[in-house]
Structure 1
Amino acid sequence: MEEGSNKKRSFTVPEPALRRMPCYLAYLKIASRKGEKYISSTNIAGDMGVDPTQVTKDLSYTGISGKTRVGYEVEPLIDALEDFLGFRKVDNAFLFGAGSLGRALLHDHGLKQYGLNVVKAFDIDPAVVGREIVGVPIHHIDDFKLMREEGVEIGILTVPTESAQQVSNLMVEGGIRAIWNFTPVRIKTPDDVVVQNTSLYAHLAVMFNRLYEIKQEKKF
């Protein structure tokens, strides 16, 4: 794959590598702002707690390779990562659930910088339906079926737990083909629908558990 190209991949990138790549990108952007022109996989690995060979392997998926004794050229690597991850192309999305979490996501301007533009939101609460939040109109969920012709294929799910499966069914019926699921429910969808689960509570549980372990270790 050529640098900065959009050629179709003939392989599947391991999910752990995809999860690390945005972290590399954020790291490189900080390095760029500091005026660094080149950076080595050893530097990246040391600062991020990743094995240098793993960094090299992960970055190789972009088609970019480092130079001996010099490392990677920062700006071309940033471009390659943004292109590879799809952050340069902006995709429109619908938000389902304009509660506290949904509203927080609407206020997150970083989403658009990473290629996701929320154009409409849906809810059933009369207190928010008919309003706009940071320029995004909030519609009643019943109106979603009228907007299928807009061609939006990405949906963000932030509804209450008890409504997650029902709303996800509605999303799929309305043409949504990728769901970013922020509920703790593991929703069921057809095989051709992509679901990315992001459970805040699961990560919170891990944090609490690790904190407890550290406290226990210090007692001995």
Structure 2
Amino acid sequence: MQHLKNALGSSVQLPSAAVGRMSLYLRELQRLSDNGVMSLNSAELATLIEVSPAVVRRDLSTIGAIGRRGVGYVTADLIQSIGAVLGSETSWTVALVGVGSLGTALLRYRGLQRQGFHIVAAFDADPRLVGTSICGVPIYAAAEMSKKIGELKPQLAVLAVPAEAATAVASELADAGITGILNFAPATLKLPKEMGVVNVDLASEMQRLAFTVTSGITGGAVPEAENQKK
């Protein structure tokens, strides 16, 4: 269970699975808004992310979003409500550590900026990369990381380094003042409890995908009990 705040500043408790769905709702709502869709109902939103309408209504009512009879949900209102809960209305500054293939792809991905996440610096040990930039983001030497983070004061970090380096780099990030890490390294980080960490293990996700395919599960993901279609 995660404790978040809605648009009115009230505390909201959401299961981790619901937080994940909120992110999917927001992505689809922004796409619909770009295409001129002004409103939609729970069934339409449910179809887009392949859950039941009841799950959508429950998720949205938890954050105080109530549909209008005959109209459904106003797209702009939902974007604002979900954005407030997820913190995407706040501008977050981010440091990226590791400018390999994955790190480079993240630097080129503009979806992060749209959600309010701005990479302000990247770090790598390869001297050929130091002093260059990708999509306007400067790349600094890994040895300068603590100093530059102290100067730029990013709030979050993305870790895209080899597993053997992950723990040491994460500890340095924590000591430098980073409050949350998105960890792509296949390693378990041992950090202070107050540090926010989200692990993305691509190999594990591929194993989940393989299980989905071999089990004949539809919908593109291993379903959780609370978001399976009824």
Distance 1:36 1:19, change over 3 A: same
How far is 1:169 from its partner? 0.8
Q: Which position in structure 2 is the counterpart of 1:191?
A: 193
- Distance in structure 2 (CA, Å) of the matches to 1:41 and 1:210: 26
Partner of residue 20, structure 1 = 21
| RMSD after superposition | 1.9
Residue 67 of structure 2 corresponds to which residue in structure 1? Answer: 66
- Trace 1:21-170 onto structure 2 (pairs within 5 A): 21-147=22-148, 148-170=150-172
Give the superposition deviation at 1:33.
4.0
Aligned length: 211
Could you say what secondary structure the match of 1:122 adopts?
A: strand
Percent identical pairs in the alignment equals: 33
Q: What is the CA-CA distance between 1:152 and the residue it aligns to? A: 1.7
Output the amino acid matched with 2:108. H
What is the CA distance between 1:48 and its match in structure 2? 2.6
Task: Output the amino acid matched with 2:165.
Answer: S
Q: With structure 1 as the length reference, what TM-score do the two structures score?
A: 0.88
Change (3 A) 1:34 1:7: closer
Letter of the 1:99 counterpart: G
Letter in 1 for 2:206: L
**Which protein shows a greater Rg?**
1
TM-score normalised by L of structure 2 = 0.84
- The structural deviation recorded for 1:34 is 4.2
Query: Residue 130 and residue 37 in structure 1: after superposition, are their counterparts in 2 closer, same or farther (change >3 A)?
Result: closer
Q: Secondary structure at the match of 2:198?
A: strand
Which consecutive unaligned segments of at least 5 residues does structure 2 have? Answer: 217-230
Q: Deviations over 1:148-179 (max 9, x none)?
A: 14322211100011101111111111111100
Partner Cα distance (1:170, 1:129) in 2:
19
Identify the residue that residue 223 of structure 2 maps to in structure 1: none
How far the C-alpha of 1:121 sits from its partner, in A, is 0.7
How far apart in 2 are the matches of 1:7 and 1:39? 23
**Greater displacement, 37-46 / 15-24:** 37-46
Write the mapping of 1:197-216 to structure 2, written as runs, cut at 5 A.
197-214=199-216
Unmatched tracts of structure 1, length 5 or more: 215-220
Provide, for residues 116-175 of structure 1, a one-character-per-residue CA deviation record: whole Å limited to 9, x for no partner.
Answer: 100101111112112111111111111122121432221110001110111111111111
2:17 partner SS: helix
Cα deviation code 1:70-123 (max 9, x no counterpart): 311122112222232222222111111111111110000111101110010111
Question: Structure 1 residue 10: deviation in Å?
Answer: 2.4
Within 2, Cα distance between the matches of 1:89 and 1:173?
A: 24
CA distance in 1, matches of 2:76, 2:115: 17
Work out the CA distance in 1 between the residues paired with 2:22 and 2:192. 28
